[in-house]
Amino acid sequence: MNLLRTTKLLLHNKKIILFLSMFFIFIMANIDFNRNAASNFSVTKKFPKNINGWVGQNLKLEKNSGIFKIMSTEDLILRVYKKTNNNDIKMALVLADNKKKIHDPQICYKLQGFKFLNKKKLTLSPDLTANFIKTKKADKEYLFIYWYTDLEANYATRTEFWSAIIFKKITGKPVKTYGIVILYTPEENIENLKKFALEVNKILYKQIVNKL
């Protein structure tokens, strides 16, 4: 009698496990981890050209540039920000609906001639920990700060960013966007670079609050 009960219990448990497995497979099969199903913010159209005294000017790319093979002009801002008596800060901001448009800047900028010397994490504020990298190009040293964002939280590494996206997708939470902020400037401009990074993060946060 006990053997019969045990057998029935095992069969029942197997059915439950099978059902849960099929349910999980169904969910995974219907999740597009690359594309965002939520509405995007028009941040790239409204991101200010004047940031606390820094005046931005768009950098133009050739229409046949390879970058436009993976993203549209609406996904990307390329600007140089200038302020009196300070070195320029160059910014690349990508906010897209597809993860495939977000690339590792260490790969992209190496192709532009930058040599990456060392890298560390830098906490600029409680909600912003970014990558801080010392680089060199044509015998001149530059500093990079970059981080990933989904417009709800910031992530220093691609692994952290991708893990958060997967968790949100599985749990049914909307992903606002896939984004990356890249800033760089000559080495001697380090303090302004940090301050500028905080200003950029503040602007992105305001975009979220105002639901632009």
Strand-pair partners of 181: 93, 147
How much is the pTM?
A: 0.76
Strands (E), 73-209: 76-82, 89-96, 115-125, 128-137, 140-149, 154-155, 178-186
CA quadruple 146, 147, 148, 150: dihedral, nearest 10: -120
pLDDT of 27 higher than 80:
no
| pLDDT score recorded for residue 14 | 61
Query: 43 CB contacts (<8 Å, ≥6 apart)?
Result: 93, 95, 151, 177, 204, 207, 212
Average pLDDT over residues 191-208: 86
Res 15 pLDDT > 70:
no
In the structure, what pLDDT confidence band is assigned to residue 132 with cuts at 50, 70 and 90? very high
Q: Tell me what pLDDT residue 26 has.
A: 42
What is the mean pLDDT of the segment spanning 53-66? 75
- Tell me the average pLDDT across 23-33: 45
Domain ranges of the chain: 1-30, 34-210
Instruction: Tell me the two tokens of residue 74.
Output: 């609406």
Q: Which residues lie across from 58 on neighbouring strands? A: 79
State the number of CA atoms in the 13 A half-sphere of 197 facing the CB: 29
Per-residue model confidence (pLDDT) at position 63: 57
Q: What is the pLDDT of residue 33?
A: 47
- The mean pLDDT value of the chain amounts to 76
What's the number of CA atoms in the CB half-sphere (13 Å) around residue 147?
Answer: 25
The pLDDT assigned to 142 comes to 93
CB-CB neighbours of 113 under 10 Å: 10
